[in-house]
Amino acid sequence: MDVEEEIDLAIITVNALIVPKVLEECGKKGIKNVVIISSGFSETGSLEGKKAEEKIKEIAKTYGIRIIGPNTIGIFNSENGLDATFFLEKDVRKPSKGNVSLFSQSGTVGILSLDILTKEAIGIAKLVSYGNAADINESDLIEYFSQDEKTKVIAGFIESVRNGKKFLEVLKKNKKPIVLLKGGKTSFGARATSSHTSSLAGDYKVYSNIFKQFNVIEAETWDDLIDYLKILSIGKKANGKRLAIVTNAGGFGVLASDFAYKIGLELPEPSEKLKEELKKYLPFYASVRNPIDITADADVERYKNVLKVVDESKEFDLLLVIVLIQTPMLDEKLFEVLNEIKKPFAVCMSGKQSR
Amino acid sequence: MDVEEEIDLAIITVNALIVPKVLEECGKKGIKNVVIISSGFSETGSLEGKKAEEKIKEIAKTYGIRIIGPNTIGIFNSENGLDATFFLEKDVRKPSKGNVSLFSQSGTVGILSLDILTKEAIGIAKLVSYGNAADINESDLIEYFSQDEKTKVIAGFIESVRNGKKFLEVLKKNKKPIVLLKGGKTSFGARATSSHTSSLAGDYKVYSNIFKQFNVIEAETWDDLIDYLKILSIGKKANGKRLAIVTNAGGFGVLASDFAYKIGLELPEPSEKLKEELKKYLPFYASVRNPIDITADADVERYKNVLKVVDESKEFDLLLVIVLIQTPMLDEKLFEVLNEIKKPFAVCMSGKQSR
């Protein structure tokens, strides 16, 4: 076999005490890229740990090595099949190729995100768990992903930011949708953060303001992060904030209305003309205000007619369809109807599980 | 067959226009309890609808009939097997007997709760979907469930309260844990509510204060409601607020710490003595602060030793165990360890799904 390219990535998993020696060997062999999975550095809070981390920084500088880690679960690249995480495929589902790239200060948040995104059928471009960020940090990764052509959506779990100036710079330059989940928002979380990845969580209000200023979508919880990625990876961009909700489940329409208000969307009532148009397809007890409640006895035909009217209307920019699929009137044919929607839309559907 | 008891419950599902006639027939036959599933009453906003609802109230008064509904999906009782919902068992999972009783102004929130609670293996005593509450309302149901011996935990989805005075009275008298989810907290949600069950959502701040005053656990979202029921249906009551978090997943430890702060728990650091005790079972890079981060290379034995120390300590009142089960070091034996915990505790575990 002819080796045309030199392989220059090393994954180090040995005991922390031996890492400097191995890193030096890498340097001597001309390996420029190293992932250090080993724990036992500054995150321990011990003097030895901090010294060891300083030492690997020094060695890296001497030999011009770029480091991811230490204290990570590794990296993953769906494009070239590189899986340098220490999780087996039988334990963690690995995603197919996709346009979402993820960086995570926490290895477990990173690896479980891969698992859940796969379950939710969302493809991934790259995952980087960057741990203590002795060298490459969150700002470097945002910069990289904002230029990486396989990445259309950037997502990150951060506990802290090492270089505030660069963080602002890369967020300013970035043109791609970016979702961040911040750990360590409270005094409890900040203490946990300092033991976890040896980082200062910082004042959450500062983060919150930066996120707003630079159009960062802030995920409140990990579940929210996954949901945002679901939408961003497949969704179209809406041209405005005017939401229409169409549902056969009135109560969930109410809850979704409250949520739309909370996140700053508009929920305009249809014009009289549009209401008349909608009424043609609805029983008298349905509601043509917004949410448009087509009631629990709606069949696929009713969904089809109402969705067509709403989709073609210029009174709305985006569309949320909430479906209680369990009613005896609905079946799989509804999916064909949903597939025909042209506006940016999301579907929230109850699961129907055969026993 | 000898009929010893007269069956005196009627379920009415006919067209709204015919309901008054059927209800009158029930009255003449001496049927005292009626569930009206039919829609087409005050929730339509029409004069006809409102008149029809007034008419059924009148008839009920004349004959001494108690009504649940109209505009509901019915009622469910796991004790005697009564399933008067219009959903088929092949479409909606029906729960086994349990100690949670649920009332819901929204039928779809009610029926999907049954489905999800079953999926989560939480048993149910009774479900009442009460819709427009022409007669029996949220306060009547809280009063009933607070006295029902099969009910240990009360849960409700309300959009409005019809009789504020009675609502306060029954909450004051109730001694059981009660979780409420309020729909119509915002102007958008309030408008949706008025179309949905013809009710005034009211000022959310007033609700929020009442909930606090009467120890009502307020669920922020439907997911939260389900989670609260999971804990309340099986959990023990904690004697204080001092939480210990034990985890092999540092990032989720950080997120849980933030959440513990948000909901008003304490997360005390262990005493020096307890820290020394914990360190006996942990590698040097683990954290013995709180969260107690036993790191991703923890095996079942490490979990067992640490959990035993924490469980026996008087420094904590309750215990949260967060498990990344996907690591190669863990297997099902961990469940035996978790089963031995004596303090009130919750386990948050990532799903491991074989493909």
Q: What is the pLDDT of residues A95-119, one digit of tens each?
A: 889 999 999 999 999 999 999 999 8
- Closest-CA residue in chain A for B324? A108
| pLDDT(B290) > 90 | yes
> What b/e readout covers B326-341, taking b as 16+ CB neighbours within 10 angstroms?
bbeebeeebeebeeeb
Q: How far apart are CA A325 and CA B331, in angstroms?
A: 36
Question: Which has the closest alpha carbon to A133: A20, A35, A219, A222?
Answer: A35
| pLDDT(B136) > 70 | yes
Q: If you average pLDDT over residues A168-179, what whole number do you get? A: 97
Model confidence over A20-62: pLDDT tens digits? Answer: 999 999 999 999 999 999 999 998 888 889 999 999 999 999 9
User: Does B328 sit within 8 Å of A249, measured CB to CB?
Assistant: no
- Quote the crossing angle between the two packed helices B107-119 and A250-262, to the nearest 10°: 90
Name the token pair of A196: 């976890």
- Closest-CA residue in chain B for A292? B192
Min Cα separation A61/chain B (Å): 25
Q: How far apart are CA B105 and CA B158, in angstroms?
A: 5
Q: Please name every residue paired with A102 in a beta bridge, in sequence order, or none if there are none.
A: A127, A155
Which of chain A's residues have a Cβ under 8 Å away from the Cβ of B108?
248-252, 296, 324
Residue A250 burial (10 A CB sphere; 0-12, 13-18, 19+): buried
**B129: helix, coil or strand?**
strand
B306: enclosing H helix or E strand: helix B300-312
Confidence of residue A7 (pLDDT cuts 50, 70, 90): low
Triad B256, B258, B263: Cα angle to 5°? 90
Query: What pTM, to 2 d.p., does this model score?
Result: 0.83
Q: How far apart are CA A353 and CA B119, in angstroms?
A: 9
| pLDDT(A4) > 60 | no
Q: How far apart are CA B339 and CA B330, in angstroms?
A: 16
* DSSP annotation string for B72-108: --EEEETTTTEEEES--TTTS----EEEEEEEESSHH
* DSSP annotation string for B17-48: GGHHHHHHHHHHTT--EEEE----SGGG--HH
Is there a contact between B184 and B193 (Cβ–Cβ < 8 Å)? yes
Q: Which of B96, B248, B255 would you mutate first to test chain A, the one with the most A CBs within 10 A?
A: B255
pLDDT at res. A354: 43
Side chain identity at residue B25, one-letter code:
E
| pLDDT(A200) > 90 | no
Q: If you average pLDDT over residues B70-98, what whole number do you get? A: 88
ipTM of the complex: 0.85
Question: Which has the closest alpha carbon to B117: B33, B12, B230?
Answer: B230
User: Does A350 sit within 8 Å of B183, measured CB to CB?
Assistant: no
Which of chain B's residues have a Cβ under 8 Å away from the Cβ of A285?
16, 39-41, 43-44, 49
Which of chain A's residues have a Cβ under 8 Å away from the Cβ of B76?
none
Is there a contact between B70 and B45 (Cβ–Cβ < 8 Å)? no
Size of interface A-B (CB pairs under 8 A): 239
pLDDT at res. B94: 83
**B217: helix, coil or strand?**
strand
Nearest to B186 among A261, A324, A355 (CB): A261
pLDDT at res. B193: 85
Which of chain A's residues have a Cβ under 8 Å away from the Cβ of B87?
326-328
> What b/e readout covers B193-210, taking b as 16+ CB neighbours within 10 angstroms?
bbbbbbbebbeeeebeeb
Q: How far apart are CA A254 and CA A269, in angstroms?
A: 14
Confidence of residue B34 (pLDDT cuts 50, 70, 90): very high
Confidence of residue A199 (pLDDT cuts 50, 70, 90): low
Q: How far apart are CA B217 and CA B177, in angstroms?
A: 8
Model confidence over B226-260: pLDDT tens digits? Answer: 999 998 998 788 999 999 999 999 999 999 999 99
pLDDT at res. A327: 87
- Closest-CA residue in chain B for A294? B196
- Closest-CA residue in chain A for B112? A350
A 10 A CB-CB count for A24 gives: 17
- Quote the crossing angle between the two packed helices B250-262 and A107-119, to the nearest 10°: 90
**B210: helix, coil or strand?**
helix
Alpha carbon distances (Å) from A195 to A18, A130, A158, A163, B26: 22, 16, 14, 20, 69
Question: Which has the closest alpha carbon to A348: A255, A268, A261?
Answer: A255
Is there a contact between A344 and A231 (Cβ–Cβ < 8 Å)? no
| pLDDT(B5) > 60 | no
Average of per-residue pLDDT values in chain A:
91
Q: How far apart are CA A295 and CA B258, in angstroms?
A: 39
Which of chain B's residues have a Cβ under 8 Å away from the Cβ of A326?
87, 91-92, 111-112, 115
Q: If you average pLDDT over residues B112-118, what whole number do you get? A: 91
Q: Assign 3-class secondary structure to chain A.
A: CCCCCCCCEEEECCCHHHHHHHHHHHHHCCCCEEEECCCCCHHHCCHHHHHHHHHHHHHHHHHCCEEECCCCCEEEECCCCEEEECCCCCCCCCCCEEEEEEEECCHHHHHHHHHHHHHCCCCEEEEEECCCCCCCCHHHHHHHHHHCCCCCEEEEEECCCCCHHHHHHHHHHCCCCEEEEECCCCHHHHHHHHHHHCCCCCCHHHHHHHHHHCCCEEECCHHHHHHHHHHHHHCCCCCCCEEEEEECCHHHHHHHHHHHHHCCCECCCCCHHHHHHHHCCCCCCCECCCCEECCCCCCHHHHHHHHHHHHHCCCCCEEEEEECCCCCCCCCHHHHHHHCCCCCEEEEECCCCCC
Q: How far apart are CA B316 and CA B310, in angstroms?
A: 8
pLDDT at res. B4: 44
Q: How far apart are CA B83 and CA B86, in angstroms?
A: 8
User: Does A109 sit within 8 Å of B251, measured CB to CB?
Assistant: yes
Confidence of residue B355 (pLDDT cuts 50, 70, 90): very low
- Closest-CA residue in chain B for A158? B251
Q: Which residues contact B97 (CB under 8 A, 6 or more apart)?
A: B78, B79, B123, B124, B125
| pLDDT(A355) > 60 | no
Q: Which residues contact B151 (CB under 8 A, 6 or more apart)?
A: B99, B100, B101, B125, B126, B145, B176
Nearest to A184 among B191, B254, B295 (CB): B254
pLDDT at res. A3: 44
User: For chain B, what's the residue count?
Assistant: 355
Min Cα separation B222/chain A (Å): 8
Q: Which of B188, B200, B290 would you mutate first to test chain A, the one with the most A CBs within 10 A?
A: B188
Min Cα separation A107/chain B (Å): 7
| pLDDT(B353) > 90 | no
**B49: helix, coil or strand?**
helix
Is there a contact between B127 and B75 (Cβ–Cβ < 8 Å)? yes
Average of per-residue pLDDT values in chain B:
91
